[in-house]
Amino acid sequence: MNQIKENDCMTSSIISMQEHGEDAGPHHPVCRALKAQHASISAMHMRDLFAADPARFERFSLQVGDVLLDYSKNRITEETMGLLVRLAEEADVAGWRERMFGGEKINNTEGRAVLHVALRNRGNQPLIVDGEDVMPKVNAVIAKMGAFAERVRSGAWRGYSGERITDVVNIGIGGSDLGPQMAVQALAPYRHPQLKAHFISNIDGAHVKEVLESLNPETTLFIVASKTFTTQETMTNANHARTWFLAQAQDERHIAGHFVAVSTNREAVTAFGIDPANMFEFWDWVGGRYSLWSAIGLSIMLAVGAERFIELLDGAHAMDAHFRDAPLDRNMPVILALLGVWYNNFFGAQSHAILPYDHALRSLPAYLQQADMESNGKSVDRDGKAVDYDTGPIIWGASGINGQHAFYQLLHQGTRLVPADFIVSVEPHDDLQAHHDILLANFLAQTEALMRGRTLDETQAQTSQFVQHKVFDGNHPSNAILLQTLTPHALGMLVALYEHKIFVQGVIWNLNSYDQWGVELGKQLARRILPELHADATVASHDASTNALINHYRRMSRRTPA
Ligand code: G6Q
């Protein structure tokens, strides 16, 4: 197992100590105490902690609305949690939380506020950015989306030939794709029966072709979802869709009935040929990966209706209220964040698995991968200073039950520590109770097996062959998150829970979680390489590998540029 770095845990403690003019460093009391705590916990097995404390579940679980978090199967004691909460206090999580809710420009490198909480601020308390309460415009866009969605869903909105819309295609990528796609999938039981949702993100022409091939232009509505409206993949796919549509519709005037836009860039939307009346606006204080609550969620609203979409917002708002008001030691996002820091910075865990036991949540791991890794995958702090501690882990995962037959071997018997979140609903939407019982039994069995393991003696009692191979060390941490039912409200709570977890970790690691400069370089280079792919002269301006690959492509590609 990885050892902690000499300087780990210098994060918030240092910053806070510097602000208070006190002595800073790895010998700061919280750091020292957490390191000592790690040493003593490392020698303990969770099996023994459970045996010694029948109230361990009550001590380490928390219910917020319909979300139950059991975090008792973690390598913690009350002392550990007390120290981790002190770390959060010293990082000034409470202060940063108020700064976020207060509309301060905590995204310092882009000079922006971070106010996705305003999008689901169902209490309508004023939220101020640059001296302006943003709530009236937030509410106006929700109302505009609702009216539009109702017209499409009811069949009042007609395509150019008079047919009703049967298919909605969201064209977007990254934050303008993953959230809506995940939510539409998660809320499948609530979807309009005669309105199918499709998502096109990949610039690989195979994606747009595959989606369009089954569609009829007369009954298809495109949502071009792009905050900037300049993203190459999205604009290329949108232009292809426009050409495909016009090949049949013939008249550019028909575009108005079949293309709408979600963007912050009115000019570019108009230039594309979309009527600004059919543009749904959002604002620079909504980060792409935090935007499913905004007009970027239009495809969700079209799928499930305005009422259900509002329930999704209500759920997120309930989690926001909990996050803002609950004391740190009873605060679900804070607890999840601190447990993550515990394994990341003290146990040297490199990754964190998201394991939904719910077919409808199968895209949640990919969604959270972006939310977390793009937010906290940083190696300089908010002031640009290189960090000397680990920041965001690798987030990965897949449907848990399928994972059991694939990658769980490594979770149980590999050499790495992989903390994991297991997520399930108590009541399924379907009526296949026998299926759900098996699902639940496996969900419970896996967290138990990871925690308990199977000792040599227990193994020997069952078998005499290959005994060493069949021993399970156990002591692998997991969180169990139980929703009552995967309703829009519960989904809203769940997603907001993770958003705030990411926020808290960003504060503890002193990061700006809301920029993403790491995606820039590749984009710049791609712009430079694109014309070189079909240049006349041999390309020699890159490194030997890149040059050779470009030249190989030039030689071998039988295509001419589009
Ligand atoms: C998210 C990122 C990124 C973004 C996409 C799409 O936080 O910024 O994933 O959402 O690059 O950007 P546009 O919405 O501007 O097309």
CA atoms within 13 Å, Cβ hemisphere of 17:
18
Q: Six-digit token pair at 139?
A: 């509410």
Q: What is the pLDDT of residues 346-401, one digit of tens each?
A: 999 999 999 999 999 999 999 999 999 999 999 999 999 999 999 999 999 999 99
* 3-class state of residue 260 by DSSP: strand
Residue 13: pLDDT band (50, 70, 90) is very low
- pLDDT for the residue numbered 22: 46
Residue 8: pLDDT band (50, 70, 90) is low
Q: Whose CA is nearest to atom 11 of ligand 1?
A: 174
* 3-class state of residue 256 by DSSP: helix
Question: Would you say the CB of residue 288 lies under 6 angstroms from ligand 1?
Answer: yes
Residue 20: pLDDT band (50, 70, 90) is very low
Q: For a substitution probing ligand 1, which of 173, 233, 285 has the most ligand atoms within 8 Å of its CB?
A: 173
Question: How many angstroms does the Cα of residue 123 sit away from the middle of ligand 1?
Answer: 28
- pLDDT for the residue numbered 560: 62
Sign of CA dihedral 375, 380, 382, 387: positive
Euclidean distance between CA atoms 506 and 337, whole angstroms: 9
DSSP string over 137-181? HHHHHHHHHHHHHHHHHHT-SB-TTSPBP-EEEEE--GGGTHHHH
**pTM assigned to the model:** 0.95
**Residues 297 and 225: beta-carbon distance below 8 Å:** no
Question: Would you say the CB of residue 173 lies under 6 angstroms from ligand 1?
Answer: yes
- pLDDT for the residue numbered 270: 93
Q: For a substitution probing ligand 1, which of 227, 237, 375, 524 has the most ligand atoms within 8 Å of its CB?
A: 227
Identify the residue whose tokens are 């866009």: 141
Question: Would you say the CB of residue 499 lies under 6 angstroms from ligand 1?
Answer: no
Q: Whose CA is nearest to atom 2 of ligand 1?
A: 288
Question: How many angstroms does the Cα of residue 271 sit away from the middle of ligand 1?
Answer: 20
Question: How many angstroms does the Cα of residue 298 sit away from the middle of ligand 1?
Answer: 16
Q: What is the chain's percent helix, strand, coil content, to nearest 5?
A: 55, 10, 35
Q: Are strands 220-225 and 67-70 parallel, antiparallel or unpaired?
A: unpaired
* 3-class state of residue 465 by DSSP: coil
Euclidean distance between CA atoms 302 and 508, whole angstroms: 38
Can you tell me which atom of ligand 1 is nearest the CA of 225?
Answer: 14
Q: Are strands 167-171 and 196-200 parallel, antiparallel or unpaired?
A: parallel
Short-list 307, 366, 358, 321, CA closest to 488? 307
Sign of CA dihedral 403, 404, 405, 410: positive
Euclidean distance between CA atoms 112 and 295, whole angstroms: 19
Question: Would you say the CB of residue 291 lies under 6 angstroms from ligand 1?
Answer: no
Question: Would you say the CB of residue 56 lies under 6 angstroms from ligand 1?
Answer: no
Euclidean distance between CA atoms 279 and 287, whole angstroms: 18
Instruction: Count other Cβ atoms within 10 Å, centred on residue 383.
Output: 9
Q: For a substitution probing ligand 1, which of 110, 114, 171, 176 has the most ligand atoms within 8 Å of its CB?
A: 176
Q: For a substitution probing ligand 1, which of 171, 223, 231 has the most ligand atoms within 8 Å of its CB?
A: 231
Euclidean distance between CA atoms 485 and 529, whole angstroms: 49
Q: Are strands 259-263 and 279-281 parallel, antiparallel or unpaired?
A: parallel
DSSP string over 100-139? HHTT---BTTTTB---HHHHT-TT----EETTEE-HHHHH
Short-list 252, 339, 348, 234, CA closest to 296? 234
Sign of CA dihedral 149, 155, 157, 158: positive
- pLDDT for the residue numbered 3: 39
Conformational region of residue 92, where left means phi above 0, alpha means psi within -120 to 50, and beta covers everything else: left
Weakest-pLDDT range from 14-18, 269-273, 496-500: 14-18
Question: Would you say the CB of residue 289 lies under 6 angstroms from ligand 1?
Answer: yes
**Alpha carbon distances (Å) from 438 to 163, 355, 404, 441:** 44, 16, 13, 5
**Alpha carbon distances (Å) from 127 to 95, 118, 136, 314:** 17, 7, 10, 17
Euclidean distance between CA atoms 356 and 62, whole angstroms: 19
Q: How many residues does the chain have?
A: 562
Residues in Cβ contact with 148 at an 8 Å cutoff, skipping those fewer than 6 apart: 157, 260, 278, 280, 298
- Active site members: 374, 405, 523
Q: What is the pLDDT of residues 271-310, one digit of tens each?
A: 999 999 999 999 999 999 999 999 999 999 999 999 999 9
**The Cα angle at residue 154 between residues 152 and 158, in degrees rounded to 5:** 50
Question: How many angstroms does the Cα of residue 176 sit away from the middle of ligand 1?
Answer: 6
Q: What is the pLDDT of residues 156-210, one digit of tens each?
A: 999 999 999 999 999 999 999 999 999 999 999 999 999 999 999 999 999 999 9
* 3-class state of residue 68 by DSSP: strand
**Residues 412 and 428: beta-carbon distance below 8 Å:** no
* 3-class state of residue 28 by DSSP: coil
Q: What is the pLDDT of residues 530-542, one digit of tens each?
A: 999 999 999 999 9
- pLDDT for the residue numbered 2: 38
**Residues 186 and 486: beta-carbon distance below 8 Å:** yes
- pLDDT for the residue numbered 29: 86
Q: Whose CA is nearest to atom 10 of ligand 1?
A: 175
- pLDDT for the residue numbered 562: 59
Q: What is the pLDDT of residues 229-274, one digit of tens each?
A: 999 999 999 999 999 999 999 999 999 999 999 999 999 999 999 9
Share of the chain above pLDDT 70, in %: 94
Q: Whose CA is nearest to atom 9 of ligand 1?
A: 174
Question: Would you say the CB of residue 175 lies under 6 angstroms from ligand 1?
Answer: yes
* 3-class state of residue 286 by DSSP: coil
Euclidean distance between CA atoms 307 and 190, whole angstroms: 11
Q: Are strands 128-129 and 132-133 parallel, antiparallel or unpaired?
A: antiparallel
Euclidean distance between CA atoms 19 and 13, whole angstroms: 10
User: Could you tell me which residue, 8 or 412, shows the higher pLDDT?
Assistant: 412
